[in-house]
Structure 1
């Protein structure tokens, strides 16, 4: 009887210890994967888009201040990707089509940023944008030629990019939303197109109500 009681107490202690570890490892039960924990941390910290120089498909160069006063809806891609990037951009195109037309370019700019600047020059980005019917203005595609600046942005936004020996990259994918002041305010599941479009509308409409 005493032995069974000791065994029960031991099992309870193990269970409690396991729950404590799980609580710590999941940011208080809110994050069940490393990716979810990463997104939760980003939304809490709200990093500012760093001062980097982008070059778009038209050969224009500018910083994030180009879009001051507008929301910027962002994806990170490389044009040589034959898997997830295609789906990511197809979904971005669907979000674009769901956002009220009057918001495009005025309240919200769509921006796809390549993390493969050596191969994704303006001419390549120009061809790539046509695959998704990007107009190059309200939805722009750009690269960051300077590696240190690119790494700074990827770092701040928690974008993981791992090159292989065949010129490809393993990387995570999401929709990123930068507010009118250049601060990251949301990271969205790129598979949830309607939800993302609704979220964009809510941000703009909330601003309009506060005017």
Structure 2
């Protein structure tokens, strides 16, 4: 009887040890694959081009946000990025995440020319799914503040174009922390972005 109890105790010890080791291994794996927090995403308040109402980053709620900074007269980087995001939109729709858990945000840094009507036309041409997209436009002063807060240097040129950084695509988690910043345009790896979005949607 005593021998049987000793064997049972040994088996229990082994099971508990394996559980601890397995839990530790999972914790190490999760920590190594989890996207780090870069910094708190600066809040902003801008006009929603659909409703005309003032909305903030915080008003978007407990969702994962992918934020692009664009201007409509951009000849290459901005439209290429939006095309990639529309492709990701379709994948997220298949997983029933788009609009409910994930939103895409476009902020213009050329409010003088990018009117609400022009932005709507751009979005419709790109075939964005409005249930999961938000486009925002501010005054010149509001726009400059947002750009400064996000450390984006956008200098307007005499021909109306802008010199701006390629890395202007921000992945923001449900708690409004910036988790990753991506290159836009042809350098954008939409499969990487999509993978990161799905990961944050599970957190």
Q: TM-score range by the shorter chain?
A: 0.7 to 0.9
Provide the TM-score with structure 2 as the length reference: 0.72
Are 1:114 and 1:142, in contact at CA under 8 Å, matched by a contact in 2? Answer: yes
Give the superposed CA RMSD. 1.9
Are 2:46 and 2:136, in contact at CA under 8 Å, matched by a contact in 1? Answer: no
Alignment correspondent of 2:71: 78
Structure 1: which 4+ aligned runs deviate by more than 3 Å?
none
Partners of 2:179 and 2:141 in 1: CA distance: 24
Are 1:98 and 1:194, in contact at CA under 8 Å, matched by a contact in 2? Answer: no
Partners of 1:101 and 1:66 in 2: CA distance: 24
Whether 1:59 and 2:56 are equivalent positions in the alignment is no
Q: Deviations over 1:176-203 (max 9, x none)?
A: 1122222222112331011110110011
Partners of 1:45 and 1:156 in 2: CA distance: 14
Structure 1: 5+ residue runs without aligned partners? 1-42
Q: 1:151 to 1:44 in 2, by over 3 A?
A: farther
Alignment correspondent of 1:113: 107
Alignment correspondent of 1:195: 192
Provide the TM-score with structure 1 as the length reference: 0.70
Alignment correspondent of 2:41: 48
Partners of 1:66 and 1:170 in 2: CA distance: 30
Give the superposition deviation at 1:50: 2.2
> SS state of the match for residue 44, structure 2?
coil
Q: 1:45 to 1:155 in 2, by over 3 A?
A: farther
Alignment correspondent of 1:128: 122
Which protein is bigger by CA-based radius of gyration? 2
**Which stretch has the larger CA shift, 107-116 or 82-91?**
82-91
Give the superposition deviation at 1:44: 6.5
Matched ranges for 1:154-165 at <5 A: 154-165=147-158
Q: Deviations over 1:22-63 (max 9, x none)?
A: xxxxxxxxxxxxxxxxxxxxx775142223223324433311
Partners of 2:137 and 2:81 in 1: CA distance: 17
> SS state of the match for residue 103, structure 1?
coil
Alignment correspondent of 2:31: none
Are 1:57 and 1:121, in contact at CA under 8 Å, matched by a contact in 2? Answer: no
Q: 1:164 to 1:188 in 2, by over 3 A?
A: same
Alignment correspondent of 2:5: none
Give the superposition deviation at 1:123: 0.7
Are 2:88 and 2:190, in contact at CA under 8 Å, matched by a contact in 1? Answer: yes
